[in-house]
Amino acid sequence: MQPFDYAEGQVFFRDKLVPFRDANVSIASSPVLYGLSVYTVFSVNWNADEKKLYVFRLKDHYARLVNSARIMDFNLFAPAWPYEKFEETMLGLIRANKVEESVLVRATIFVDALIAGTKIHGLPQALAAYIYPMGQILPRSGVHVCVSSWTRNADNAIPSRAKVNGGYANSSLMKNEAILNGYDDAIALDAQGHVTEGTVANIFIVRNGKLITPAPTNDLLEGITRASIMEIARDMNIPVEERAVDRSELYIADEAFLCGSSARLIPILSVDKRTVGAGVAGPITKSLSDQFDVVQKGGGVATEKGWLIKI
């Protein structure tokens, strides 16, 4: 079977399904000129044994999308798009593309106006969504990262709690710097020097058997994979702590990993050329990764937690 070709697929754009090539916005539109759009990416996981798809935590992705819209004052989206309508539309999009592999769906709310300046409130807003192959944004075997010289944008500037497209210029500067210096990715610090996250994924460290992740108040995205990993860890009787994490703790961690809907779970092998643990995925990292893969395809505790929609 040929891998899914997003460029030949159907997308949802301005209230209907259209070919990918026809879903375009103007060069004079608010999302192009000012980055005025918010988005979420959710996974759709193919279970080859059952020949079924499992959509992972769609309701949580919708809730975060609504919260991002609320933060940005995209005030027309939530009344026009209750969850039931959103779910029906996303499942219809997946079915229309006859997907039989693991993929990602990116759903975006954008200010659908031309030459409107930096205004937001009351301007037309539209929903777009498309499917693309799962791929690997980072090597699943592990990554070598650096601490970025760029500071994470603050909550009182461009909130990282909202997935604002324009805010990812910050992540792009970090990623670009990391690649130019021979690393796979970068770790961002907030204005107080505390660890926040990677460029597009949350971060965890392990110290003395405890799973530790920065708190939401450290200018990070409240990731749905992040929340899932913490819940899975607690079910496995692994202690979990959300708190400020110092840069130096990255250097003395027993294990560390990145996680996100696109990244999945990626071991961190070194930080600033300092080896993390034994330089391979540690036992807690591996156990959580294995269990997360099972959960996404309908196994483990996913059904009882109501995390999945089977197609």
Tens digits of per-residue pLDDT, 239-288? 999 999 999 999 999 999 999 999 999 999 999 999 999 999 999 999 99
How much is the pTM?
A: 0.96
Q: Are 43 and 56 in contact (CB under 8 A)?
A: yes
Tokens of residue 181, six digits = 């210096």
Tokens of residue 6, six digits = 């997003």
Half-sphere exposure in the Cβ direction for 16 (13 Å, CA): 3
Q: Is the pLDDT of residue 121 over 80?
A: yes
Q: Is the pLDDT of residue 2 over 80?
A: no
Residue 258 pairs in a beta bridge with: 203, 266
How many other β-carbons are positioned within 10 Å of the β-carbon of residue 278?
A: 10
CATH 3.30.470.10 given to domain 6-133: yes
Q: Is the pLDDT of residue 300 over 90?
A: no
Q: Are 291 and 236 in contact (CB under 8 A)?
A: yes
How far is residue 287 from each of residues 105, 174, 241, 279, 293, measured CA to CA in Å? Answer: 26, 29, 18, 16, 10
Per-residue three-class SS string for 103-152: EEEEEEEEECCECCCCCCCCCCEEEEEEEEECCCCCCCCCEEEEEEEEEC
Q: How far is the C-alpha of 226 from the C-alpha of 211, rounded, in Å? A: 12
Tokens of residue 247, six digits = 């840069």
Q: For CATH 3.30.470.10, list the domain ranges present in the chain.
A: 6-133
User: Quick one: pLDDT band at residue 1, thresholds 50, 70, 90?
Assistant: low
Q: For CATH 3.20.10.10, list the domain ranges present in the chain.
A: 143-296
Give buried/exposed letters for 255-270 (b at 16+ CB in 10 A, else e): bbbbbbbbbbbbbbbb
- What's the one-letter identity of residue 262? S
Q: What's the pLDDT at 157? A: 96
Q: Is the pLDDT of residue 303 over 90?
A: no
How do residues 10-59 score in pLDDT, each as one tens digit?
999 999 999 999 999 999 999 999 999 999 999 999 999 999 999 999 99
Among residues of the chain, what percentage have pLDDT more than 70? 100
Which CATH number is correct for 143-296, 3.10.20.30, 3.40.50.720, 3.20.10.10, 3.40.1260.10? 3.20.10.10
- What's the one-letter identity of residue 184? D
